[in-house]
Chains A and B, each alone.
Chain A
């Protein structure tokens, strides 16, 4: 492209219409045009002193008229060193971290699904994990009424969660509803947790007095003893 400027100079732009959009080269070209030919109609005022390419002009210079979001094929790739540097600095460590996501060990299909579910639907993943924690928390708090110690509660809940993990809801139900209450019958007694924890002396089983069966299975007879 050749343009005869008002100041008598001639502005020449090689490859006009097919210049790739490289930031540094476009900036140099813009500076050259502004210095040589400030009155060139392709330039507009950026501020009082600086002239820049107009939108229409840069479209003609690069030969790509479309600037819509979906025109992803009208772009100029960055240089490879820039691409690699950015992936190395910002993307790869993050992907590496996401790969640490624990996956349920139920075969390749479930493990694959777990990872794609994290990447493709993180909202559902987080909601599901919160739900899992809610179930665990509810279970723990329900057992509290049986008067068990905190550590024992946690261990029992973990055990039941392990059954749930295996998909055996029947066992979970029976442990929740029948096994635990039968073995830890404090729930049905008038003794409150506060009373137990605040007693200043060790509990002694005494005829006629309050009888407390401490958490334990010693006194429970197996129902299926041969």
Chain B
């Protein structure tokens, strides 16, 4: 909740800012050197990136437990009231990545990953319940920005029944998104075995860096003027040059009607898309939107008892719950180094890092 409000405010400010900039462009005196056509193209290319906005808003909603402090506070409150928690090691990167610690990279959502044999019923349900709807929803949300951009660029002269340079570049951006997505699935399938998690991570990083560089190059180059050449200012058949001055009256009219409709309906569609996802998953969202600086009510009564809650496996009482003492020793040096930022043995309990909460119950046994 603490993260979501600033991000929502930033999104609203951004849309208002776009509105002001648009108003300024629409009311400006026509300038042959910098015609409104260029401003519309600029907006269109920015709109291709706007597909990422719902991702930022969703991540902000899920983001509450993503910080060291909040996770530590939640577990700390639990430990304060319920007694020490049986967790004596910091899971290595291999476990962290596979088990859903990066909410924006859940490759464990595919049925072919070893996580599909996860024992968590909630996760199994999510893996097998409406996977196509989830993926289609994501594809559609990201495509909305690019489709709006293509619609806008196709409406700015020179127009005709052909794909002008801008539309081609925006299609290239959309194609890059889709290719990157499919590439990510392919990498995930190749590296589906648990022992290939590190390879998976670095391959995916390389793929995403390449994809980001391609997208950045397209957007920066078009901003500098890569499409400022005669081939991009001719009619569909290439027979006539159609400089901006020729279509000045037409653009002046469209600036007051069609263009703002396209731009703000695209933003509106993105907001609606995010709202629809929030509505669909409201129960899930509500978990993250609660404030975590209050007492945890469901364990409040335990403080009165003064008894420590055994976070143990009820069926295997000899083993503290969640403790797998062999995992850390099985990891390689590099993997240990990866997670070392959050772990250091300590007996300080909740005042230490999350992974340092020592299982007193286990020790006392």
Residues of chain A whose beta carbon lies under 8 Å from any beta carbon of chain B: 21-24, 26-27, 30, 44, 46, 50, 52-55, 57-59, 62, 64, 66-69, 71-72, 74-79, 82-83, 85-87, 89-91, 93-94, 96-98, 100-107, 109-110, 112-114, 116-142, 148-149, 151-152, 154-159, 161-179, 182, 215-218, 220, 222-226
Contacts and interface: CB of A to CB of B under 8 A. Distances in A.
B135 A127 contact: yes
Given A137-B281, A159-B296, A165-B71, A23 B286 contact: no
14 contacts: A79-B34, A86-B39, A118-B59, A120-B207, A124-B105, A125-B55, A130-B277, A138-B125, A138-B126, A149-B298, A159-B296, A164-B99, A173-B120, A218-B304
Q: Is the interface of A mostly helix, strand, loop or mixed?
A: helix
Interface residues of B, number: 164
A134 B134 contact: yes
A221 to B, nearest CB: 8
Contact of A122 (B7, B55, B238, B240): B55
A97 B322 contact: no
Contact of A155 (B102, B119, B243, B290): B290
A182 to B, nearest CB: 6
B91 A166 contact: yes
Contacts of B58: 126, 129-130, 133
A86 B37 CA distance: 12
A105 B281 contact: no
B177 A58 contact: no
A176 B125 CA distance: 13
Given A125-B105, A157-B287, A46 B240 contact: yes
A162 B288 contact: no
B interface SS class: helix
Interface string B1-38: 00100110011001001100100000000001111001
Given A120-B209, A126-B54, A217-B305, A131 B322 contact: no
Which of B21, B106, B137, B298 has the most chain A CB atoms closer than 10 A to its own CB? B298
A164 B101 contact: yes
B134 A86 contact: no
B49 interface: yes
B332 to A, nearest CB: 15
Contacts of A90: 18, 21, 42-43, 45-46
B324 interface: yes
A114 B97 CA distance: 12
